[in-house]
Amino acid sequence: MSIKALIKHNILNLEKIPYSTHNDDNSAVFIGSPIKHPYENDKFILICDPLTDHAMFIEFQKSDILFMKELPSLASDDGESVTIAKIFIKLGASAIKYEPFVVTKTKDILHNKFHWAK
């Protein structure tokens, strides 16, 4: 499933998040497209830079959200819009960052890019 399709069908309902007080001393800000976790209801996934080829995913606990504010949506080149939110996460919370990459050997990349001899 593409990132666009994932966002379109699994948007996290911003109105159902209970809010508490937040400020610079007790929270860190993350911006991206929040979606429902595929199988854990107490978590959500934030897709950072959802319209780029190098999107990063961060998994958070819903209970760690102090405040969430919807920002203006982003529009892709083909006219589809993506929900974007500014999310305040309490300091000290645990999160998991997923970053897709292609498995390869570094020496092969360097050789191909810079034409180094082996």
What's the whole-model pTM score? 0.70
Query: How many whole angstroms separate alpha carbon 27 and alpha carbon 71?
Result: 18
- Give 6's pLDDT tier (boundaries 50, 70, 90): very low
The more confidently predicted of residues 76 and 56 is 56
Query: How many whole angstroms separate alpha carbon 96 and alpha carbon 67?
Result: 19
Residue 76 pLDDT greater than 60, yes or no: yes
Average pLDDT, the chain: 79
The predicted model gives 61-90 an average pLDDT of 87
